[in-house]
Chain A
Amino acid sequence: MSQNDVALMAHLMRRAGFGTTRTELEAYVEKGYENVVDDLVHPERGTPIDEDILERYFGSEGGYVGTWIYRMLNSRCPLQEKMALFWHHVFATGLSKNQHILASTNQIDMLRRVGMGKIGDILLELSKDPAMIFWLDNNENRKGEPNENYGRELLELFSLGVGNYTEDDIKNCALAFTGWTFGQPIPLYPHGYYAPPFLFVEEEHDDGEKTFLGRTGNLNGDDIIDIIAEQPACARFISRHLYNFFVADEPQVPSWNVTPPQDPEAIETLADAFMASDGDISRVLGILFNADFFKEARFKKVKSPTELVTGILKLVGTFQSGPEPGMNQYGSATQLMGQKLLDPPTVEGWHTGKEWIDGGLLTARVNFAVREVSDASKPGIQDIMTRLKHNGNPLSPEAFVESCLEFAGPLVVGDTTRQYLTEFAEANGEIDFRDDAVAEENQTLLVSMLQLIVASREYQLG
């Protein structure tokens, strides 16, 4: 098992999933990179998460965000969960406006269910999603009094991007979605949330002739989505989103019409796969993860708060043996770092890349990471202790640093960081992890070293 194979697999699983334990990582390496990619893009092959256990110990009473993070950590189909997060970024729908947690969580469940399918199916489900309908006012989009909010954002932010449609296309797109609304749910009080159903109100639908992207007829919402899905602009736009999320940070979406992609060839490769497969997202992802531009993109992205939190929890082994009390605290943690799941700040979603980090947010990230690795009893820390015991003891300071970087990632650090880590290790000289008489001291040293590593600049990158 070469170090490069391990590093490459860790890269894949950070991006296509939420990280791995070391044991999982080694099992993936054994399976082979291309085989793992093939499994990832076929989530139906994976063992579903144990819904019974989740429901029994952390069901609806547990809180959705905690449950979602549990799914991210334990899913045997991690890409499916990552794609739900991806689409949540793209189809940003804010709980702060709709204030209906069940509608919002149903949307995430929908994204998980259809998010690796064809773009036409995804956009159709999205257009019928009550949380989205309310978020972008399509419940007020009626024949004779259209509301263009959803029609505009569907084209601008969800499928084509600015510059690939006209104002008339927006107007006609909106008319095609008139009457697409939802049934009034029973209100929260006094007996809880009820799911709103999608509703097509025929008398509120505009049956007139419409022209959209050069096509004329009595177009409805389904027709609009069919037309969008055929557009090369849609292929490029979604491909750039996928590149931004999975490969390397792009500028923020609103500037995409004036700032070309950093790797136009990569976008073209993905867009070609998109067009050739009728917008099959799984096919595009398969091409992406096997491409050199992906494999060479290690540590070129700033981890989102969700990725940072889940990566740390994977490292220390939280929730390995099932749900635990307090899972919702991790939703609060991502919120403190600037990513409140279910509640993106605007329809543009979160600004990503370097905008994830400022002085305050960095402090929140580092504090969280350091706190989580401080508990030496966690199974992930104990696993590293065990591995260090069998790692050519006694370990020189340099070897101790190298081993910890390997087991915490593998993480590649710059000379400055390595120098600091080595200076810390040198203060304690050689360490023999086989010596049970000093096991507690060694454990403390390991925790301190891991704290320094997860607090490093490099650990912010995924």
Chain B
Amino acid sequence: MGRPYGLLRAGFPFHKTLSMRRTTNFPIDIAIGKEGRIYIMCRSDGTAMIRKYTVEDEDRGTMGGYGQGEGQFTWPVTIISDSEENLYVSDEYLHRIVAFNSEGEHIGTWGEHGTDPGQLNGPAGIAFDPDENLYVVDSLSHRVQKFTKDGKFLLGWGGYGDGEGEFNMPWGVAVDELGDVYVVDWRNDRVQKFNAEGEFLFAFGKSGSGNGEFNRPAGIDVDQHGDVYIADRGNDRIQLFNAEGRYVQKFLGDATLSKVSQAYMMTNASPNRMRDMADLEPQKYLRQPKSVAVSDEGLMFVPDFGSYRVQVYQNMAVPLTEQEFSPPRRSVTLHQE
């Protein structure tokens, strides 16, 4: 499906909450599989695993584990799924990419620590392009590199700095359906957009907490309409931009108790009483989200890192044709047409 001429942004309501503490402690990222399957990457000191889950709030067990051996992770950052539902995980401590199939079988590991072209030094964000080549944000070398799925180096760009095409410990990366590449420039509090060859197109965002500003942004995703979602970790929110980098809206969190949480609470009288005594306002908010992922069905999944759950929103945007969407205006107007 091609990019729509315009969008009627009919709304983006909260949809549901998934999972809870113990099942998904410190969810750092999420990959969207097929038939309602999702894969939640969890990371804490001495623990790392992929929690296989469903959008119906069902636990399907774990994959991988903490360590330095085959099929293990130490500091996993990003998890993504390819067209066959194979999963790829970046590990910024072990400087490698680990792959599993959807059954959790380890199907490959690649990556050599170093700063030469094709070597990895703190890989953070990873994303497939439309041809399923893999972009890797090589954070400690302040660059982006492109590989085949099995690790053959294709190209790279970047370097330390705050100029165009330079980075300061970048984190997330996303590729839109046209092949353009968005890179979250973590310590420069901005996002840069490049074409598939690494040519700088434009940047947006600056340090701050206002709309369109960032406080150490982390993960990113792009939906089928070209809209860009960024986990603004330090501001405890997700921000949505259009493909030109114009701020659209933010998501602060609207969590409810997930299905499994409610089942848990039904057998815990004391916490229920404590909840009744507490100010519950804070429970809905996102806490330090480090990533975001959007499905083709318009579901936005936000691993709510500090609250051990996933918040899900439903995009109600409707594609518009040229007849339904007037040409771009240079100036704002007060006319009501």
Contacts and interface: CB of A to CB of B under 8 A. Distances in A.
A189 B268 contact: yes
B45 A190 contact: no
A-side interface mostly: loop
A325 B283 contact: no
A55 B290 CA distance: 11
A130 to B, nearest CB: 13
Size category, B interface? 35 or more
Contacts of B270: 187
A429 B171 CA distance: 54
A325 B258 contact: no
Interface stretch (B113-121, B237-245, B302-310): B302-310
B274 A59 contact: no
Residue of B21, B25, B74, B169 contacting most chain A CB atoms (<10 Å): B21
A185 B275 CA distance: 8
Interface in B240-267: 255, 257-258, 260-261, 264-265
A191 B255 contact: yes
A154 to B, nearest CB: 26
B288 interface: yes
B270 to A, nearest CB: 8
Contacts of A55: 216
A46 interface: no
B44 interface: yes
Given A52-B216, A60-B306, A190 B282 contact: no
A194 B283 contact: yes
B271 A56 contact: no
B26 A186 contact: no
A194 B21 contact: no
A62 B75 CA distance: 11
B274 A184 contact: yes
A190 B307 CA distance: 8
B334 interface: no
B15 interface: no
Contact of B258 (A60, A190, A192, A327): A190
B74 A325 contact: yes
Contacts of A194: 278, 282-283
Contacts of B258: 190
Interface in A140-190: 183-190
Nearest to B218: A56
A189 B265 contact: yes
A187 B261 CA distance: 12
B44 A63 contact: yes
Interface string B30-50: 000000000000011110000
A328 interface: yes
A326 interface: yes
B157 interface: no
A66 B308 contact: no
Given A52-B216, A186-B274, 8 more contacts: A56-B169, A60-B306, A184-B277, A185-B274, A187-B275, A189-B261, A189-B271, A190-B308
25 contacts: A52-B216, A55-B216, A57-B75, A59-B288, A61-B25, A61-B26, A61-B43, A61-B44, A183-B278, A184-B278, A184-B279, A186-B280, A186-B282, A187-B274, A188-B21, A188-B271, A189-B20, A189-B271, A190-B309, A191-B261, A191-B283, A191-B304, A191-B307, A326-B45, A326-B46
Interface of B: 20-21, 25-26, 28, 43-46, 74-75, 92-93, 169, 186-187, 216, 255, 257-258, 260-261, 264-265, 268, 270-271, 274-275, 277-280, 282-283, 287-288, 304-309
Interface of A: 52, 55-63, 66, 183-192, 194, 325-328
